[in-house]
Amino acid sequence: MSNWLAVKAVVGRELSKVFRQRGRLISSMVRPLIWLLVIGSGVGSMLQGEQQSGYLTFLVPGIVAMTLLFAALLSALTLVYDKEFGVMRMMMIAPIEHYWIVVSKIIAATITAMVQAAMLLVILAIIGLVDVNIALLLLVPALATAICCAAIGGLIAAWSKTLDNFAVIMNFFIFPLFFLSGALYPVSQLPEYLKYIVLINPFSYGVDLMKHAVPAAESDFSIITDITVLSVFSIAAIVVACWRFSRESVHEPLFHRVTGKKG
């Protein structure tokens, strides 16, 4: 692939920044652990009998998915950061179609999210909240969820011109995506009108796919449904993000193909 070197460079730059900021990497573990150990224990204490110990196990896939969501969206933020600080121009003037920049950023966001999820699973395995085999198994649905989250991030970033704007959109999207995904409670127990929102939330299917890897966690959809929705949404979101990013910069081949416009 002729653009491989360029894609590798963009991904490499993102990953080197992630690993350079070790403090940020470690602190990214604090949020999920607080949710799991503080909120999970707190809510669990209100439940009775087996439900009490089962709630923590139920939370594990949701909290790992939350880690993926935050990590991927924050990683996609670098697309806006590069636009705002001018570094994007270094990539825009390179002899690659501009959609490769978005694809590279989404790959980098996916890897970053997976690294953080893997770190969390190691911690959870060490403190005995998850079995090692289940932790390893969780990495498979985590990858599909990470791609979906990175695609959501790419989609949002392609529409954002400044970091301020991105922050607003992050707050507008990230909490509804998380709270209305079935990560904290079974979808079947939600009021009817909220169930419809959960159904149109692509992140719900990522959380659900991860629940399939944890025997004690009750899932709401079939594995086939989860994979189909995640795949279709991720591909559609990546295509739209690439189109949008190419459209605002220059008449790109992809833009020509989609719109039939010739400059």
Partner 1 sequence: MASNFAIRTNGLTKQYGQAVAVNKLDLTIKAGQFYGLLGPNGAGKTTTIHMLTTMTSPTQGDAWIAGQSVLTDPVAIRGTVGLVFQDSALDRMMTVDENLKFAAALYKLPPKQATARIEELLTIFGLENKRHMKLVALSGGQRRAVDIARGVLHRPDVLFLDEPTIGLDLPNRRAIWRFVEQLRKEEGMTVFLTTHYLEEAEACDWVDFIQKGKLQQGGSPNTLIRGLATYILEIDCADTEAVYHKLSADFGQPIWEDNHLSFRVIDNKVDFSQLQKSLGNAVNSLQWRKPNLNDVYLWTVCPPQTGAVV
Residues lying near partner 1 in the complex (CB under 8 A) are found at 2-3, 5-6, 8-10, 12-13, 16-17, 85-87, 89-97, 249-253, 262-263
In the numeric block, which tokens belong to residue 149?
A: 């989250």
Least spacing, CB of residue 191 vs partner 1, in Å: 47
208-233 CB burial, b ≥16 within 10 A, e <16: bbbbbbbeebebbbeeeebeebbeeb
- CB of 12 vs partner 1, minimal distance in Å: 8
CB of 21 to partner 1, least distance (A): 10
Q: Name the token pair of 24.
A: 């940020």
Nearer to partner 1, 25 or 136 (CB): 25
Question: How many angstroms separate the CA atoms of 234 and 146, rounded?
Answer: 10
Q: Min. distance of Cβ 27 from partner 1 in angstroms?
A: 19
Q: Which residues of 110-130 are buried (b: 16+ CB within 10 A; e: fewer)?
A: bbbbbbbbbbbbebbbeeebb
Least CB distance to partner 1 at residue 231 (A)? 29
152, amino acid identity: I
Closer residue to partner 1, CB minimum distance, 50 or 262: 262
Token representation of residue 169: 């959109």
Instruction: Report the nearest approach of partner 1 to the CB of residue 178 (Å).
Output: 30
d(CA 206, CA 110): 13
d(CA 15, CA 34): 26
CB of 4 to partner 1, least distance (A): 9
Q: What is the C-alpha end-to-end distance of the chain, expressed in Å?
A: 27
For the beta carbon of residue 239, count every other beta carbon within 10 angstroms: 16
Which of 218, 252 has the CB closer to partner 1?
252
By beta-carbon proximity to partner 1, the closer residue of 168 and 250 is 250
Instruction: Indicate the SS3 state at residue 1.
Output: coil
Phi, psi of 203 (to 5 degrees): -65, -30
